[in-house]
Chain A
Amino acid sequence: MVEVGKIREWLEAVPDPEIPVVSVVDLGILRDAAWHGDELEVTITPTYSGCPAVAVIAHDIEAALHAHGVARVKLTTRLSPPWTTDWLSPQGREKLHGFGIAPPELNAIAPRVHCPHCGSSQTECVSAFGSTPCKALYRCRACREPFDYFKPLR
């Protein structure tokens, strides 16, 4: 029987299908993993209701565990408490930034979004929805580059 900590480590190698620099663990959607006899129950909390990646994520988690020799996997979805971008890991935030996506600002009241390319706070929102439902499209007035902003959800 493999320790749960080890399972977490394995799943850190499972990427988000839409933003492959971050793992499902970085995203905070992995809530729990527990053995029931020889069956491993993995509990995940979906991000956006309509996120098309969720089905792929579930499949990828199962495939990764099978590849590590876990024969019986049961995936459970937990809605409450709802997923929030506050669950993104510090490494996940750094990886997003390095990939050119501005991570969610922690001050959601009057967020000043910083450009992931040049760091300027002179940015403007072009569209509240970007290439995926979790991102907004921004433009930097300093370096003129467009970029995605991972919107805070809380």
Chain B
Amino acid sequence: MTAPFEFCLRLGDTDLILSQRLGEWCGHGPVLEEDLALANVALDLLGQARLWLTLAGEREGCGRSEDQLAYLRDAGAFRNLLLVEQPNGDYAHTMTRQFFFDAWHLPLLETLGSSSDAAIAAIAAKASREAAYHLRRSRDWIIRLGDGTEESHRRMETAIAALWPLTGEMFAADAVDSSVIDLEALRPRWQSEIESTFAHATLAVPSDAWMQHGGKQGVHTEKLGTLLAEMQFLQRAYPGAQW
């Protein structure tokens, strides 16, 4: 089975948009080590996005490069998860977004690592080693903030309430996803990661809630537009510009 253009695009866009969000912290991190850590996670994700988008361009077969896909598409053509386009908020918000993502990303990549599509398997096997480090770090932060002060605990609860309705999209497969991977099969591992970490963090796992969808089909929040305005500015203002 060869993964279609659209599937590679979803993986690439999700990594790219989260990388851009994390990059916004650069120079604003709460402490120097955190500033470096966020920039490094952003860099890993950007590297992974480049691999996926290059592959997407090959699968599409119209000659589009990773740069053309990243810089010359409008919001409606992006296929990232709604979760990753959410603004950074405070640090509890940023780390909750990261933890929900990492806890899904690692099992996703590990599963894709044994895909029968050799190109998908190669990228996923490589990326999963990096994702393991990301999860270890975001998990530590959830525990530290949840089981921290009254204020940090309260902020974690606010972040969880805001982001939880965006987690369902990670497991909601349409025909594009189902042709490559069984997303629903990733849920038990994700759920148990959330439950054990939240237990350590003295945080409550939200019960079933209404889940928002649309990112993977190109229906985004208006927040993606402002992110793209900044990310794509240079290439839009000076078409073809290179470093």
Contacts and interface: CB of A to CB of B under 8 A. Distances in A.
Interface of A: 48-52, 79-84, 126-133, 137, 151, 153-154
A129 B37 contact: yes
A80 B33 contact: no
Interface string B15-34: 00000000000000000011
A153 B44 CA distance: 13
B47 A127 contact: no
Given A80-B121, A82-B126, A153-B129, A50 B48 contact: yes
Given A49-B48, A50-B45, 9 more contacts: A49-B47, A49-B50, A49-B127, A50-B44, A79-B126, A80-B118, A128-B136, A130-B36, A153-B130
A140 B51 CA distance: 37
A80 B125 contact: yes
A151 B123 contact: no
Nearest to A153: B129
25 contacts: A48-B47, A49-B44, A49-B47, A49-B127, A50-B42, A50-B45, A50-B46, A79-B51, A79-B122, A80-B121, A80-B126, A82-B122, A84-B129, A126-B33, A127-B34, A127-B37, A128-B37, A131-B36, A133-B43, A133-B44, A133-B130, A137-B36, A151-B133, A153-B129, A154-B129
Name which of B40, B41, B133 has the most chain A CB atoms within 10 A of its CB: B40
B59 interface: no
B48 A82 contact: no
Contacts of A126: 33
A142 B128 CA distance: 35
Could you tell me the dominant secondary structure of chain B's interface residues?
helix
B: contact size bracket: 20 to 34
Contacts of B48: 49-50
Interface string B208-223: 0000000000000000
B137 interface: yes
Contacts of A79: 51, 122-123, 125-126
A138 to B, nearest CB: 11
Interface of B: 33-34, 36-37, 40-48, 50-51, 118, 121-123, 125-127, 129-130, 133, 136-137
Name which of B33, B34, B123 has the most chain A CB atoms within 10 A of its CB: B33
A80 B114 CA distance: 12
B33 A83 contact: no
B36 A49 contact: no
Contacts of B37: 127-129
Nearest to B39: A129
A48 B33 contact: no
Given A127-B33, A128-B137, A151-B133, A83 B43 contact: no
A48 B123 contact: no
Contacts of B126: 49, 79-80, 82-83
